[in-house]
A and B are shown apart, each in its own frame.
Chain A
Amino acid sequence: MTIATFPPDPKPEPGWTRYFGFCTDAKVIGIQYIVTAFFFFLIGGLLAMVIRGELITPASDLVDRAVYNGIYTMHGTIMLFLFIFPVLNGLNNLLIPTMIGAPDMAFPRLNAVAFWLVPIFGAVLMASFFVPGGPAYAGWWSYPPVSIQNPVGHFINGQGLWITAVALSGVSSIMGALNFVTTILRMRAPGMTITRMPVYCWTALAAQCLQLIGLPALTGGAIMLLLDLSFGTSFYRPEGGGDPVLYQHFFWFYSHPAVYVIILPVFGIFSELFPVYSRKPLFGYLYVALASFIIVGLGLIVWVHHMFPSGVAQWMRNLFMVTTMLIAVPTGVKVFAWLGTLWGGKLQLTTPMLFCLGGLFNFVFAGITGVMLATVPVDIHVSNTYFVVGHFHYVIYGAAVMGIFAAIYHWFPKFTGRMPYEGLGKLHCLLTFVGANLNFLPMHPLGLMGMPRRVSSYDPEFAFWNVIASLGAFLLGVSIIPFLLNMISSWIRGPRASHNPWNAIGLEWLLPSPPPEDNFGEDVPTVISRPYGYGSGQPLVEHQDDIERRLQLQEATA
């Protein structure tokens, strides 16, 4: 390796216009994914405000019931397919090549295509608001027969567009998964054996394997749904001999692993950030890494827990109760590992750290309600009620979104070359944590009392907790403002960032901020020690001192 030429002289910063075009640099694609995702996050969030505005009173008095059903359906669909999966793919694009020392993804053009499918299917989904009959209205699950009733009777209808959009999303995700898996398996830096790889890459690998295995099942089920909706078949139509519950099996065979696709990278983020901000190695690195794959295996055999009241056999319910409960074990290994990392550390309560701590708090709470939901008799009572809505929003918003925010604040300096403002960050964190708890905690008593989910109106005894939940939701809406202000303002005129503002250990922190187009290029350093070597005094790579010196020199003369 020739360190004499690394880091290369900084080129004039490429224009902002490349973010709007077909660019094959994973770092550009990563930003494209993330910004696009947050655009749709705002739309999905606006829909959430309408939902909570309707539910702040018992009667259906804000919007027409059919409109409400379309809105809650699109809220879920947008948040999942247009926000959370794209934003995680964005992080993968930024982090995977730089963390493993690769110049780019294995298939850069496929990478760009995968991204550009997102605004395309986003447009298809948004268009469904404007076709006669309105958008899909049967929930993000689209269970038949409701989803194939097609009240307007047109060939082009909201549900058909929904299925098309979700299918395109699947294609995009599979393309991404092929890229991520191949890159992680084949393009690591010399010396970076699989047991020296950062946990984020382990969890990304695990999550993308789940995508590859699960998505085709959803695609198959969705193709049959579309055929039933638009071409007169009867796969799920009882009058024609079909079985509506068959759809549920296809749907959940993917959509349960999908929740692990969402949370595994967040586990990775926590595993990366807790060591940095405790100045301690990750406790039990190998166990944390391997637990990711135990979760993959178990995650594929629990899907029927979404269907306990659907009429499946009792032996099946008991079997899936057991497998679902087992997932608590590898998850617990990770949670305890993070606690072990924090214990005896030298904590720095920066914005990323606060988001991680808040996320962990919410996650443990959600894990407990998860075990309750795995228990068949309890689930018979609370399934399809607000208890479930509370549970999954705690995981997705309370843990995953907070983890994603943590990642954005943490790696913002690396990929934009600027430091985000800490004060606004902490404000964002506080408003998010309080808002999320106010919004989603009251949903648990509501569910226990018997309030079903997806309702546009409810009996008056549910009013009290609904008011609190709605106030929490409005606070969450407000919490986005400091985030957006911070991102825009810091990127344009924040203070310049050094190559390693957090004094973290990792290959990406041995690159300039922002990294050159091909990252290390030909001069990939050789990894000589395990990750998270805080306190060990060991360098991560060969000639690390030289690399650091040259980076500092470059920054001093910039």
Chain B
Amino acid sequence: MTSSSNRSINTTAVAGLSLWVGVLVVLSHWMGNQAHRWLPVSASTAAPLVDNLFSLETAIGTFVFGAVVSVMVWVILFNRAEKYDTSDAVPVEGNTALEVTWTAIPFVLVMAIAFWTIRAEQQLGTLGPMEHIHLRNPVEQAGGYAGDRLPAEQVEVVARQWSWEFRYPDADVSATELHLAVDQPVTFRLVSEDVLHGFYIPAFRLKQDVIPGRAIDLNLTPTREGTYRLRDSQFSGTWFAANQANVVVESADDHAAWLQRSAAAPLQPGLSLAVEEYALRQASSTRAWATVPPAPPPQVNVPGSPDQPHDA
């Protein structure tokens, strides 16, 4: 083989590899964009942070996965032993430079992701402090949360087996359907009367476990009008899957009007699918495995409608 064709083999290899890397980069970029479509509609200030992080990780992940699979496909296609060849291949024990490279690059990459994440969390300030042991928290004591305006509304959330009750102490309103004003920061005070529950609204990208015996604060700011689902996310017993509620985000005026209307509404049993199903279960003769009986539905001004469609 002449030296010129040696050089051309190397050039072809480098060119081919660069082209393939380029393809992977384009694919990764595209997947990163697609990632937004796999997430629900974005309805709080926290959502863009989460979505962008997820999109970035999808893009990086696509590249890594694509690169690994490319190598695997290559070797399966081009490094197969001949049919009756059981001899050994050319031995290569290792390569220290490669080892250092493929240790250093992932290290830098994951540390970069972690660092960006911590920076973004601090700037937005929407993710905490959701500490259930409030040990001398100066930010909380100063009455505010970094990055957000002072919460304009306070909502108490009572989680039970198996219903959600929302109380607006200032307006003297209670409901089993959560109403919030768009673009207004709100602070939730989460309590549970029995077991662990999870306060999870996918459209907001926020989740906080509700722990019996303590009150936990959660702050957020909704940014899109619509109806969303609140789902219990921490297994809480037999009717855990049915422990869901609707979240209605409306304009500030509509919200104020709703509060006024609701304060005047008479108290009635709130929504609790568990209570209905439990009654059916007790009435039927089939004895299934034991269950804790559901807590009676809370008496509220606004039960809400079980058939309300939701956006996410």
- A–B contact with Cβ pairs below 8 Å: the answer is yes
- Assess whether A364 is in contact with B288, with CB atoms less than 8 Å apart: no
Number of A-B contacts defined by CB within 8 Å: 312
Task: Check if B141 is an interface residue, CB within 8 A of chain A.
Answer: no
- Assess whether A309 is in contact with B196, with CB atoms less than 8 Å apart: no
- Assess whether A60 is in contact with B93, with CB atoms less than 8 Å apart: no
- Assess whether A137 is in contact with B289, with CB atoms less than 8 Å apart: yes
A336-B235 Cα distance, complex, nearest whole Å:
38
- Assess whether B75 is in contact with A347, with CB atoms less than 8 Å apart: yes
- Assess whether A146 is in contact with B195, with CB atoms less than 8 Å apart: yes
Task: Check if B267 is an interface residue, CB within 8 A of chain A.
Answer: no
Task: Check if A322 is an interface residue, CB within 8 A of chain B.
Answer: yes
- Assess whether B81 is in contact with A347, with CB atoms less than 8 Å apart: yes
For A132, the chain B residues whose CB sits under 8 A away are 290
- Assess whether A314 is in contact with B131, with CB atoms less than 8 Å apart: yes
- Assess whether B94 is in contact with A283, with CB atoms less than 8 Å apart: yes
Task: Check if B132 is an interface residue, CB within 8 A of chain A.
Answer: yes
Digitize A302-339: 1 where CB-to-B-CB distance is under 8 Å, 0 elsewhere.
00000001111110011001100110110011011001
Digitize B248-289: 1 where CB-to-A-CB distance is under 8 Å, 0 elsewhere.
000000000000000000000000000001000100001011
Q: What is the number of residues of chain B that contact chain A, defined by CB distance less than 8 Å?
A: 96
For B72, the chain A residues whose CB sits under 8 A away are 339, 342, 357, 360-361
- Assess whether A450 is in contact with B229, with CB atoms less than 8 Å apart: yes
A134-B290, A445-B38, A457-B241 as given contacts; A284 in contact with B99, CB under 8 Å: yes
Task: Check if B27 is an interface residue, CB within 8 A of chain A.
Answer: no
List residues 56-98 of chain B with CB under 8 A from any CB of chain A: 57-58, 61, 64-65, 68-69, 71-72, 75-76, 79-82, 85-95, 98
Task: Check if A70 is an interface residue, CB within 8 A of chain B.
Answer: yes
**In the assembled complex, how far is the CB of residue B72 from the closest CB belonging to chain A, in whole angstroms?**
6
Task: Check if B239 is an interface residue, CB within 8 A of chain A.
Answer: yes
A452-B205 Cα distance, complex, nearest whole Å:
13
| Complex partner residue of B65 from A365, A533, A536, CB under 8 angstroms | A365
Digitize A148-162: 1 where CB-to-B-CB distance is under 8 Å, 0 elsewhere.
010110000000000
- Assess whether A383 is in contact with B207, with CB atoms less than 8 Å apart: yes
For A339, the chain B residues whose CB sits under 8 A away are 68, 71-72
A501-B91 Cα distance, complex, nearest whole Å:
21
Digitize B207-244: 1 where CB-to-A-CB distance is under 8 Å, 0 elsewhere.
11101111010000000000001011111111111101
| Complex partner residue of B207 from A67, A139, A152, A309, CB under 8 angstroms | A309
Task: Check if A380 is an interface residue, CB within 8 A of chain B.
Answer: yes
A249-B236 Cα distance, complex, nearest whole Å:
19
- Assess whether B87 is in contact with A346, with CB atoms less than 8 Å apart: yes
Whose C-beta in chain A lies nearest to the C-beta of B107? A329
- Assess whether A333 is in contact with B54, with CB atoms less than 8 Å apart: no
Task: Check if A287 is an interface residue, CB within 8 A of chain B.
Answer: yes
- Assess whether A385 is in contact with B233, with CB atoms less than 8 Å apart: yes
Stretch at the interface among B8-16, B111-119, B171-179: B111-119
A145-B196, A378-B54 as given contacts; A287 in contact with B94, CB under 8 Å: yes
Task: Check if A543 is an interface residue, CB within 8 A of chain B.
Answer: no
A310-B291 Cα distance, complex, nearest whole Å:
25
| Complex partner residue of B289 from A67, A239, A380, A384, CB under 8 angstroms | A67
Which 9 A-B pairs have CB atoms at the shortest separation, nearest pair first? A450-B202, A238-B213, A134-B289, A535-B91, A311-B132, A455-B241, A368-B61, A133-B290, A346-B81
Residues in chain A within 8 A of chain B (CB atoms): 60, 64-67, 69-70, 132-135, 137-139, 143-146, 149, 151-152, 238-239, 242-245, 278-281, 283-287, 309-314, 317-318, 321-322, 325-326, 328-329, 332-333, 335-336, 339-340, 342-349, 357, 360-361, 364-365, 368-369, 371-372, 375-378, 380-381, 383-385, 444-445, 448-450, 452, 454-459, 503, 533-536
If A280-B88, A346-B85, A452-B231 are given as contacts, then 11 extra A-B residue pairs at C-beta distance below 8 Å, sorted by A number, are A144-B195, A244-B212, A309-B207, A328-B110, A340-B94, A347-B81, A375-B114, A376-B127, A450-B202, A459-B310, A535-B89
